[in-house]
Chains A and B, each alone.
Chain A
Amino acid sequence: MKNDFRNGFIANIPIGFSVAAYGSVCGMMSSQAGVEFYEMLLMNIFIFAGSSQMLMVEMWSDSLDVLGIILAAIMINLRYFLIGASLSSLFKKSTSKQKMAYMHLCADENWAVTIARAKKEAITPLFLFGGGVCLLLIWSASTSMGYVLGEFITDPSKYALDFAFVAIFTALTFNMYHDKNNLLPWLIAAFVAIISEHFIAGKFYIVLGALAGSFSAIYLHKDTLNE
């Protein structure tokens, strides 16, 4: 059981390489957008959510749109409510203190690694936390490196570095494919996300797509409940 921290740490090292790639892009963008180094570190430690940090950096300028940035970042992080909800069975035997302590370092990557592992063997929340510590170290190191390198790379999109996060999430999604029951709800989620991204400003499309896909799954597969 105690080994769960170490196992979680180790299990996140492979995905850590992609986090490092993404982190160096985020660091580069931060230095180019005029985010101070200590501000970036504060985001790393206290927000610890790559895509929202990326979004904040994109919106960063000399005169900050305070409310706009806060709303957009929290909007993209709304999924953490759902991510938290999906971890309820993992934390079933945990105390409130443990929940408060371990949930902060829950990012997309160590969450996905934890969910995948939990389907195969019994693990404790320490597995999630170990992965979170691993990712925090990699994330801080790579964003710092990117920040320093940022002054030298003038065009990150030339090397498709901005596509790195799409590629990571695509790989993670296909990793969750179970059987052809998945297809229709997945297509509905993607379709609703694309349509709402087009018509609704902001980041609502992420939550809308996920809700549409998951609710459709209830409707489409309720017959499996009777088995």
Chain B
Amino acid sequence: MSEIDLNALFIIFCVALGTYSLRYMGLVFSNSLSNEGKVKIFLDYLPATLLLSLIAPAILKEGVLGFVATVFIAFCMYKTKSILASMVLGVVIVAIGRNFI
């Protein structure tokens, strides 16, 4: 065990504070917005578009394999509604592809 690294603790403290503030302020700030009309459409679409923006570049970097895995995940999700099964299928496809193709 090395000495306590103050830089590391400072990083963790700042990220923790920043992340908590974002969570809390998002909730409180939106309460003052009206939850009707355009705001409602915007908030309805946020979750999925946020996740999509997170994954789209990562899938693209995986190339054809990533695309194939995505199609299978979507199909598995449609059929089974199981997030776990779909995830495992996606990981297995990429693992097989990387090792054997």
Contacts and interface: CB of A to CB of B under 8 A. Distances in A.
A173 B52 contact: yes
A171 interface: yes
Given A14-B83, A163-B94, A205 B57 contact: yes
Interface of B: 1-2, 5, 7-16, 18-20, 22-31, 33, 35, 37-38, 41-60, 62, 66, 69-70, 73-74, 76-78, 81-84, 86-92, 94-95, 98-99
Nearest to B40: A225
A141 interface: no
B10 A160 contact: no
**Is chain A's binding surface mostly helix, strand, loop or mixed?**
helix
A47 interface: yes
Main secondary structure of the interface of B (DSSP, over half): helix
A88 B43 CA distance: 10
Contacts, number: 281
A88 B1 CA distance: 44
Interface in A88-128: 88-89, 91-92, 96, 99-100, 103-104, 106, 108, 111-112, 115
Contact of B22 (A46, A74, A171): A74
18 contacts: A36-B8, A46-B13, A46-B16, A49-B19, A52-B19, A64-B7, A79-B54, A80-B19, A84-B22, A158-B99, A167-B90, A186-B49, A193-B57, A213-B53, A214-B41, A214-B43, A221-B41, A225-B38
B48 A100 contact: no
B22 A218 contact: no
B12 A47 contact: yes
Nearest to B8: A39
